[in-house]
Structure 1
């Protein structure tokens, strides 16, 4: 005498609505929207950062890299960010399309 309701997970009314409104390909990934998973997405990188920082203190590098100077990551980040920002204008000129590229609007917007 087994109760079939105990073996099947029950869905809340909110979850039923989410499944009904979601694209069929998205249904297996709806668990990513739960509050528990969202909180975990900040915990995992935080734990990883702390762990590898401690490992770096326990086992320091024996050979310094050429870019290991004072504020090296700030300089590298600034140069990289500047490159991305300054490359926006040439990329816009290269990839931009005129306003009427897709034809005149049919009014079905």
Structure 2
């Protein structure tokens, strides 16, 4: 294997101040996007389902779908995953 020279100086994205600011901007933008769902101009005037009248329906639905994919992927990995030394044990 080759050794890579990594400098001990942290990069701009490793600084705690940047991470806190980034997380703050992300949370504020998510809250603003969720609140925009309650503004009538951003709602579908003729929703197909009754649940679409809820202000944050699509945010909740998207989060639930994302969580299902992540949790299903964890269990699927147990079913189809290989051991770390899978290719080495043949030799």
Q: Which has the higher contact order (CA 8 A, sep 6+)?
A: 2
**TM-score normalised by L of structure 1:** 0.44
Which structure has the larger Rg?
A: 1
**TM-score normalised by L of structure 2:** 0.50
